[in-house]
Structure 1
Amino acid sequence: MVQAKLERRSFIFALLLVTVAFVFLLKPFFTPIFWACAIALIFHPVYRLLYNRYPRWPNVTALLTLLLCTVLVVIPVLLVASSFVNEVIALYQKVQSGEIDVGQQVDRVRNAFPGFEALLQRMGIDFDQLRERLLSGFMSAGSFIAKNALALGQNTLNFFVMLGLMIYLTFFLIRDGETLVQLLIRALPLGDEREQLLLAKFAEVTRATIKGNLVVAVTQGSLGGLIFWALGLPAPLLWGVMMTLLSLLPAIGAALIWLPAAVYLLAIGSMIKGTVLLVFGIAVISLVDNLLRPILVGRDTKLPDYIVLFSTVGGLMMFGISGFAIGPLLAALFIAFWEIFMREFINSSELKTL
């Protein structure tokens, strides 16, 4: 009896050790693995639709699903990212060469709104110091983006290797996803009902967060880029992509771009353009966020808006761009675990045996 217990504990210890080692082995591939799982979840209904019609050809239906995903998602993202990088580098070079004088533009805003400087002085803030810090921050941000854009170009091989691994894994997850889920439920020692609930929550939140946030972000970025182009403002694609990225942050998002742009236009005397951009930003771009995000993200994830905001920001800080999906997912799993705990263990005999 003692020998059997020792062997069991030794095996569990070895199992945990090997599992941890394997997780560390896969750590460099965390991003492609996560996005392969997310894409497979999102496009799985398409695969089921095709598979129900052609059940004898699972490989073909999975390949067609992957091809659709590549055409609708991967290729457009690559094209926009390439154009974005080119415009960032071109803008930074213009600022560095003096063709665009950022300090002069800040002074024009200062002269147009003298009351703003007086307000800052009453708050104990020196405008000149603030101006220097803004210029320094702008140059640092521009330098960071430009250097990383160049680094991305130099690491093109690594990027495409990761992209290839993601697409390769996505094919198998689309085709064998249901089998792998059943295997995972069988392997995990949490109780089948709990595991099914947690995996269902994982799928639900992943779909809602990625689809919802991306729909909101792309819609806001596209509208912002279009209005910049319609008003004849420079680099509309660049600012449209920036608004798309910032729109991943609930509540504030795209306003970090269009609001300062509207203020600048008003400051330099372009009253019509500034007013149009301001009205369009408030009435159209912000309305998209206020209407679509609670419907597409908050409702499906069943998370309060403030939890979505904090988990999204925290996820972006911890995991980079993938954090907009990982953050709310962790928050939803956290709430799901505690709901299970309160329902099944509190004031129950199981809690006393823990």
Structure 2
Amino acid sequence: MTQPPDPLRSPALEHKTLLWLVVGFSAAFLLVLWPLAGAVLWALFLALVFWPMHLRTRRLVRRPSVAALLTVMSIVLIVIVPLFLVSASVVDQTSVLVEKVRGGEIQPTEYLQRMMHALPQWATGILQRLGLDELPALLQRASEVLQRSGQAITTGLLGIGQFTLDFVVSFFIMLYVLFFLLRDGTALSNTIADAVPLQPAQTRKLLGQFVTVVRATVKGNVVVAVIQGTLGGLAFWVLDVPGPALWGALMALLSLLPAVGAALVWGPVALYKLFTGDLVGGIGLTVWGVLVIGLVDNVLRPVLVGRDTRMPDYLVLVATVGGISLFGLNGFVIGPVIAAMFLVCWKLLTEVRQQLGHSSQRDSAG
């Protein structure tokens, strides 16, 4: 006499249980990683961007660990050391600028009043109707608050440039993870490809697009930011604007917003010089900003980002802005990556549905 099947030993139930265990523990693992998400993400981004360099190093050095260590050291020298030097210069110039505002050497209120007095009467009337004619008084009050709290601000700015415990921990975790991603990258990618429940061709397409988007976005945005920040800082240095490294760094940061970012910094300075009678400086900075700094954004960004990811320029802009607003600075990579993977997933789904449609048509015809 045969025994009835045990419902708890059903293959369907076992499969569903395993699937829920995978989902649950994957979510728990992501929750554990969340406090160090930035360090892990940047380790992954750097590993993908510098993977071709690592492959060349592997051809010269046979031992994988030594090759990975040499690549990490190269990344530190190429990326991290210059970033620290620029950050130190920005913090130093920021503290000097704050002290000059406190001491009255730099008076933002006076600069704004000069600019508003130089405006034509029709422009002043427009500002009055918009309620913006009180800007100098508001700026004066803000300047007084700045002068009273200048010491605290200076101390805080200097603290930003110092190594905090959290930063040091995250930094070394990033390097540690980066080393193992470079050393074991091929094995890890094969493991992920085998684990993803998709057809091999679909998995290769998804992973390939992910790598392409990360490389294009990081290279494109970083290159554009560095070039625009350098060109803007150089223009401010020539025009003797206080803190050129600070404003150049701010332009580099804002250049993550395509098309309009750097202009938010050099535009007001150009307007101030034009309205206060410095026509050479104002016109020169405007021409430099539009034809040189703007050309870098309009030409290089689509080439380095949009073409490699095969995304329209407007989608790159929307994904970048949305990613930054949602994920912070890391969003300038995460946003375009999510947008590109969104397009790829829908394209794969469309291809599968078309294949199923063709198969059903052939079956019905047969």
Amino acid at match of 1:75: V
Which stretch shifts more, 106-115 or 126-135?
126-135
Partners of 1:346 and 1:146 in 2: CA distance: 63
Partners of 2:113 and 2:188 in 1: CA distance: 61
Residue-pair matches, total: 348
Amino acid at match of 2:132: F
Matched, 1:301 2:309: yes
Partners of 2:24 and 2:155 in 1: CA distance: 40
Matched, 1:40 2:56: no
Matched, 1:127 2:132: yes
Amino acid at match of 1:28: P
Partners of 2:155 and 2:337 in 1: CA distance: 31
Partners of 2:188 and 2:44 in 1: CA distance: 11
- 1:161 positional shift: 1.1
Partners of 1:43 and 1:103 in 2: CA distance: 47
Partners of 2:207 and 2:352 in 1: CA distance: 18
Tell me which residue corresponds to 1:202. Answer: 210
- 1:251 positional shift: 0.7
Amino acid at match of 1:298: G
Matched, 1:94 2:115: no
Amino acid at match of 1:77: L
Partners of 1:238 and 1:132 in 2: CA distance: 26
- 1:272 positional shift: 1.8
Which stretch shifts more, 260-269 or 213-222?
260-269
Tell me which residue corresponds to 2:343. Answer: 335
1:82 aligned to 81, 85, 88, which one?
88
- The answer (yes or no) to whether the contact 1:36–1:167 under 8 Å persists in 2 is yes
Partners of 1:153 and 1:266 in 2: CA distance: 35
Partners of 2:56 and 2:352 in 1: CA distance: 37
Amino acid at match of 1:255: A
Gaps of 5+ in 1: none
- 1:106 positional shift: 1.0
Residues 147, 326 of structure 1: alpha-carbon distance in 2 compared, 3 angstrom cutoff:
farther
Alpha-carbon deviations, 1:125-173, whole Å to 9, x = none? 0123455567788989x99986864553566121111111101111111
- 1:77 positional shift: 0.7
Larger radius of gyration, structure 1 or 2? 2
- 1:73 positional shift: 0.2
Tell me which residue corresponds to 1:116. Answer: 123
Gaps of 5+ in 2: 361-366
- The answer (yes or no) to whether the contact 1:40–1:170 under 8 Å persists in 2 is yes
1:254 aligned to 252, 255, 262, which one?
262
Residues 318, 150 of structure 1: alpha-carbon distance in 2 compared, 3 angstrom cutoff:
farther
- The answer (yes or no) to whether the contact 1:88–1:145 under 8 Å persists in 2 is no
Partners of 1:109 and 1:351 in 2: CA distance: 71
Partners of 1:49 and 1:252 in 2: CA distance: 38
Amino acid at match of 1:73: V
Amino acid at match of 1:270: D
Tell me which residue corresponds to 2:61. Answer: 54
- The answer (yes or no) to whether the contact 1:39–1:170 under 8 Å persists in 2 is yes
Identity rate of aligned residues, in percent?
41
Which stretch shifts more, 24-33 or 87-96?
87-96
Matched, 1:16 2:23: yes
Which stretch shifts more, 82-91 or 232-241?
82-91
- 1:277 positional shift: 1.2
Secondary structure at 1:99's aligned position in 2?
Answer: coil
Q: Output the TM-score relative to the length of structure 1.
A: 0.90
Q: Output the TM-score relative to the length of structure 2.
A: 0.87
Alpha-carbon deviations, 1:294-347, whole Å to 9, x = none? 111111111111101111111111111111111111110111111111111258
2:228 aligned to 217, 220, 245, which one?
220
Matched, 1:66 2:72: yes
- Equivalences for residues 93-242 of structure 1 within 5 A: 93-114=99-120, 115-121=122-128, 124-131=129-136, 149=157, 152-153=160-161, 156-242=164-250
Matched, 1:6 2:13: yes
Secondary structure at 1:223's aligned position in 2?
Answer: helix
Amino acid at match of 2:27: V
2:35 aligned to 17, 28, 37, which one?
28
- Equivalences for residues 271-290 of structure 1 within 5 A: 271-290=279-298
Tell me which residue corresponds to 1:314. Answer: 322
- 1:283 positional shift: 1.6
- The answer (yes or no) to whether the contact 2:108–2:139 under 8 Å persists in 1 is no
Which stretch shifts more, 270-279 or 144-153?
144-153
